[in-house]
């Protein structure tokens, strides 16, 4: 994946399994770049261009931004929406259709019995697999050893649904020490995940990563 931004000269190429660190020490530029990415994630037009195989692709479909690390919660709305949608498809597939239909029928009959005993007239909406799964409040079990494992697991799960995705982390190195980041880099390499790490200050360069630094005077190196 490549990222071109008119706010600076360098073209960023993020390779699968090799995290790219974009360090922007100039605060106004740092803020401007993130504002543009956020705007596009919301579906608006923007200046930053993300491309795959030299073909521009929508940022809101092919990028995911991670900014909260204290704490990090794997159960994001975006991921849970994908999980429940997959469960809804599974519930009505050839293998599960009959059991799903029987379960919905049993629940509707149960609600009818409850309503019958009430001293007033009531109505219940017809149930569907979608409404039943939504009512279950499905969540991913948080049984990870540490936050690095949780973050990588989140990325892997997203890739199970979206085969091509650029993960953008913001100031991740301000939350984790070098040893933790090394484990993160190692896991990203093993799983061939595309990661762009945007930071507002330079940390120690790590083996297995690529880096572009834009200093306070907008010099790029």
**In what helix (H) or strand (E) does residue 169 lie, and over which residues does it extend?**
strand 166-170
Per-residue confidence (pLDDT) for residue 11, from 0 to 100:
97
Residues 7 and 67 in one domain: yes
Per-residue confidence (pLDDT) for residue 126, from 0 to 100:
85
Distance CA 63, CA 164 (A): 9
Residues 58 and 86 in one domain: no
Quick: pLDDT tens for 95-146. 999 999 999 999 988 988 888 878 888 777 788 999 999 999 999 998 898 9
Residues 30 and 89 in one domain: no
Residues 68 and 9 in one domain: yes
Distance CA 119, CA 93 (A): 40
Segments forming the whole domain that contains residue 59: 2-73+162-214
Q: Give the pLDDT mean for 157-185.
A: 96
Q: What are residue 203's phi and psi, to 5 degrees?
A: -110, 180
Q: Give the pLDDT mean for 202-209.
A: 93
* Average predicted confidence (pLDDT) for the chain: 94
Q: Give the pLDDT mean for 62-91.
A: 94
Per-residue confidence (pLDDT) for residue 34, from 0 to 100:
98
Residues 203 and 179 in one domain: yes
Per-residue confidence (pLDDT) for residue 40, from 0 to 100:
98
Q: What's the total number of domains in the chain? A: 2
């Amino acid at each position: 994946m490549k990222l071109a931004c008119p706010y600076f000269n360098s073209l960023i190429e993020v390779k699968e399994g090799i995290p790219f660190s974009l360090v922007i020490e100039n605060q106004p530029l740092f803020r401007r770049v993130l504002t543009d990415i956020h705007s596009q994630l919301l579906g608006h037009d923007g200046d930053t261009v993300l491309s795959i195989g030299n073909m521009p692709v929508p940022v809101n479909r092919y990028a995911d931004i991670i900014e909260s690390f204290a704490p990090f919660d794997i159960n994001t709305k975006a991921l849970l929406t994908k999980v429940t949608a997959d469960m809804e498809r599974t519930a009505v597939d050839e293998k599960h259709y009959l059991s799903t239909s029987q379960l919905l029928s049993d629940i509707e009959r149960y609600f009818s019995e409850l309503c019958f005993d009430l001293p007033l007239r009531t109505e219940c909406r017809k149930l569907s697999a979608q409404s039943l799964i939504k009512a279950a409040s499905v969540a991913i079990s948080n049984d990870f050893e540490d936050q690095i494992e949780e973050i990588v697991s989140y990325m892997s799960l997203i890739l199970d649904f979206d085969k091509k995705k650029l993960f953008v982390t913001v100031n991740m190195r301000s939350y984790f020490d070098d040893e933790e980041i090394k484990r993160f880099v190692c896991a990203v390499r093993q799983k061939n995940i595309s990661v762009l790490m945007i930071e507002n200050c330079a940390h120690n360069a790590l083996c297995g990563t690529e880096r572009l630094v834009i200093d306070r005077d907008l010099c790029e190196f």
